[in-house]
């Protein structure tokens, strides 16, 4: 594909990087990322992937925009309150970069539809922008079974964490966190609060992981969990090992079909 003059100008700060160049920008434009949850994490992830020119962005979310989302979900505006989040996100991305095709899935992601959504455009990289343990484990299990890379992340209060799973290279989310906690054991952002910028910090790092993956770069967060504490301004990188006894990615998996663990505590928790 030949770049237009407008594209050469738009992506000039990428193209000048020797690690990206015209070929790398082409890889980004051929990239297909699926963002599950258009909330605090998914909003900045979608916006940076769109700005970077990632060619296809799938956005899955069942919610509508609520006024209490706007403190952190920067892809939505005051005028979007009441709109489906997927529609609001699509409008923001379309206004930012017409090179990007946005595919929306206005539905709650569950065991029955996640494989169809991932396979719909044969997405290359999945971003977990949910705040709901059952769905986080579901995304992990689906990505392991479908051999899809994904970036896990979570935020609450002043804390954030992320890790990247690449099939065949290092641990999955379940190697580190075996099972979902019992319903109600861990507070949601709605119950515990979250500093608005946490989604920006961690969701942007998820976008960086996707971009590096599309570019074929090394140095992804495979085999480590990166944590960020805004109160102390500290990042920590905790090594993680693949576990041969892991029930989904180990050598003798006991989980071989997708299941819904428990219903979300509330629809608001899906994409905080």
Footprint of Zn ion (CB under 5 A):
172, 174-175, 246, 249
Element holding 27 (H helix, E strand): helix 21-30
Check if the beta carbon of residue 58 is closer than 8 Å to that of residue 116.
no
- The least distance separating Zn ion from the CB of residue 213, rounded to whole angstroms, comes to 19
- The least distance separating Zn ion from the CB of residue 253, rounded to whole angstroms, comes to 9
Residue 114 vs 175, nearer CB to Zn ion: 175
- Cα 143 to Cα 151: distance, rounded to the nearest angstrom: 10
Residue 90 vs 152, nearer CB to Zn ion: 152
Residue 20 vs 249, nearer CB to Zn ion: 249
Residue 137 vs 214, nearer CB to Zn ion: 137
Check if the beta carbon of residue 156 is closer than 8 Å to that of residue 185.
no
- The least distance separating Zn ion from the CB of residue 209, rounded to whole angstroms, comes to 18
Residue nearest to Zn ion (CB): 246
Residue 51 vs 255, nearer CB to Zn ion: 255
Check if the beta carbon of residue 163 is closer than 8 Å to that of residue 127.
no
- The least distance separating Zn ion from the CB of residue 245, rounded to whole angstroms, comes to 9
Q: How does DSSP classify residue 155? A: E
How does strand 101-105 pair with strand 125-128? unpaired
Check if the beta carbon of residue 32 is closer than 8 Å to that of residue 58.
yes
The residue written with tokens 């992990």 in the block is 140
């Amino acid at each position: 594909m030949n770049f237009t003059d407008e594209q050469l100008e738009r992506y000039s700060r990428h193209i000048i990087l020797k690690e990206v160049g015209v070929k790398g920008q082409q890889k980004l434009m051929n990239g297909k990322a699926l963002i599950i949850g258009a909330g605090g994490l998914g909003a900045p992830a979608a916006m940076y992937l769109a700005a970077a020119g990632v060619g296809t962005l799938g956005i899955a979310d069942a919610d509508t925009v609520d006024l209490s989302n706007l403190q952190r979900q920067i892809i939505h505006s005051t005028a979007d309150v009441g709109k489906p989040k997927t529609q609001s996100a699509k409008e923001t991305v379309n206004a930012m970069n017409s090179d990007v095709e946005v595919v929306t899935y206005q539905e709650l992601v569950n065991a029955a539809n996640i494989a169809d959504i991932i396979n719909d455009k044969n997405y290359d990289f999945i971003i977990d922008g949910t705040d709901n343990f059952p769905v986080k484990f579901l995304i992990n299990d689906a990505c392991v079974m479908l051999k899809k890379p994904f970036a896990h992340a979570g935020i609450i209060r002043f804390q954030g964490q992320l890790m990247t799973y690449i099939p065949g290279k290092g641990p999955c989310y379940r190697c580190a966190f075996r099972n979902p906690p019992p319903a109600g054991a861990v507070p949601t952002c709605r119950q515990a609060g979250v500093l608005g910028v946490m989604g920006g910090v961690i969701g942007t790092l998820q976008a960086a992981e996707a971009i590096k993956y599309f570019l074929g770069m090394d140095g992804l967060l495979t085999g480590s969990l990166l944590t960020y504490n805004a109160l102390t301004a500290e990042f920590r990188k905790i090594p993680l090992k693949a576990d041969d006894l892991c029930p989904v990615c180990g050598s003798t998996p006991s989980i071989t079909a997708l299941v819904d663990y428990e219903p979300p505590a509330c629809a608001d928790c899906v994409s905080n």
